[in-house]
Structure 1
Amino acid sequence: MSILTQMVLIEKFGLRVDLERLAEILDTTPPNLRRKISEGTFGIPTYVDGTKRWADVRDVAEYLDRRREEARRAHGASLQASDWHTA
């Protein structure tokens, strides 16, 4: 997990983020996140504290880094395939 990603998120949002901020970070809506959490398909652990649902920024950073790596692998595979076809 990237310390840089963690530090950026901590600097901007603090040590934990509520569902509204998490939706902002992920460029989606709180209802969409609630649906995914309810279905058990959301990739970031969350918990309820008081009346709000929260996520730890370390888990958010790990999720973002994981998604970045998946995109890089997919992009690299597509580049290798296209290079092979043009050679």
Structure 2
Amino acid sequence: MTPVSSAPVEGVLAGKVCVVTGAAAGIGRAIARLFARAGARLVLADRDEKGLAALCAEIAAEAVCCDVTAADAPARVHASAIAAGATRPGKARSP
């Protein structure tokens, strides 16, 4: 099995908008970096404002600082995804 870090992903997500929750740290942060390398336009959501800002400074991304369990969070994240260019929902998958 090829390790994720060496898998050829450049351009695989070009023209796609991806939403990553829990993006400020851990697995979410790693996924955001991988999707950025794959060419996706990103909308990143997390309640850790400083961690989210640090990641957005590192990669080109829209940030939505929120607790995704809050009632208004899905609408805020969706609005950011539409603003980033999303036109329709797609299937969740990784590159």
TM-score by length of 1: 0.26
The structure with the largest alpha-carbon Rg is 1
Specify which structure has the higher proportion of strand.
Answer: 2
Higher relative contact order (CA 8 A, sep 6+): 1
Specify which structure has the higher proportion of helix.
Answer: 1
